[in-house]
Amino acid sequence: MPIFSQPCVLGGDGLRVAVKDTIDIEQLPTRCGSRALEDATPASQHADVVAAVLQSECQIVGKTNLHELAYGMTGLNHWSGTPINYRYPDLIPGGSSSGSAVAVAAAKADFSLGTDTGGSIRVPAACCGVYGFKPTFARLSRRGVMPAQSSLDCVGVFADSAEMLIKAMQAVETGFTTAKLPDAIELGMVEVTADERVHTCVLELLQRAEKSAPITFNSISLASFDDALAAGMTLINAETWHACGHLLDTGKVGSDVAVRLANAAQTTDQQVAEAEAVREQFTRQVDEALRSVTALVLPTLPTFPMTLADAQAGKTDLMISALSRPFNLSGHPALSIPLQSQDHRPVGLQLIGRKGDDELLCELARYLSEFIPNQNNNYVEY
């Protein structure tokens, strides 16, 4: 189970932390899961989030594997190794922060650091049956994180409980506090296209909570949701080409990522301008929707994760991020809660909060987790 690309022991004797290998740790190279960076120079200083973790007396236990250059959603990596989905080993671990999700699921770390540009924390969290949180854009420093420049990417955390997720945020951000929920919680269920079994799993949890708690939920429409997905794809392509396109010249980029990078090179300035216009429009719609509800709710994944065998055979599924990517475009905090279907497959419930309301969103996740039934982690053969 190649979770770690670079095992290490660093820091105090507190919570154990795994770090995605797009985040600098002093004296270790940041290889981003790519053979094109196998000779990278060791980092000269810690990324800000790593420095914060160490100041909190946490112990870093290693750098984790990922989908190469953080530019893929299956989490597979034929060069540095694919972390096997600990709880659902027949399924993909999800990408790009696959190793960070698996490290938590396998109890190799109390929490882990990942990055999320288009669902890269929430997707593997849902695939692996753990919690994953993308904070408000720019809430956590990205200094020392690859890519150096991004209008989408956020550093965030994985944990195996909502309580640990809050502890993780307190470790990486001085001043992150606990929040008090309102007396009446109203959730807006975003109208999206998803597998009926996934929808049912999410709905059952909300109905269970509604019977026992001051919670109500109603449908809500975001008119530009599909446009926001396309715009997010345009911008990640443009920004990843800018950051990593030169690596194609090495001839060492894996074939799946190399094809995506070559296609990304065709992104035009006009397409970027149109995507930015969608960003502005969609952000307004999300802000408006959140004025009347405590949080938005929708599935994290539109369907169940594909099998590992299908992914190893070359199948891809960028639409696995269809319900997470729009909120990278808008910059709102987003959190995935792990659920499980009746046939023991992973489902994620995604919460979206107001910008800056990260503490409230984490507390809401903790509250809703009380209504998740005890589940075993049996998996089915596909």
Averaged pLDDT of the chain: 96
Q: pLDDT tens across 285-296, in order? A: 999 999 999 999
Structural domains of the chain ordered from first start = 4-369 (3.90.1300.10)
pLDDT at 375: 54
Decide: 127 and 93 in contact? Cβ < 8 Å: yes
Q: Which segments in the chain show pLDDT lower than 50?
A: 376-382
State how far the Cα of 243 lies from the Cα of 19, in Å rounded to an integer: 21
Cβ(44)–Cβ(36) under 8 Å?
Answer: no
155-167: b (≥16 Cβ within 10 Å) or e: bbbbbbbbebbbb
- The model scores a pTM over 0.85: yes
Tokens of 253: 């980029």
**One-letter amino acid of 364:** L
Alpha-carbon span 335 to 297, nearest angstrom: 10
pLDDT of residue 318: 80
Give the tokens for residue 136: 């408000």
- Dist CA 294 CA 299 (whole Å): 17
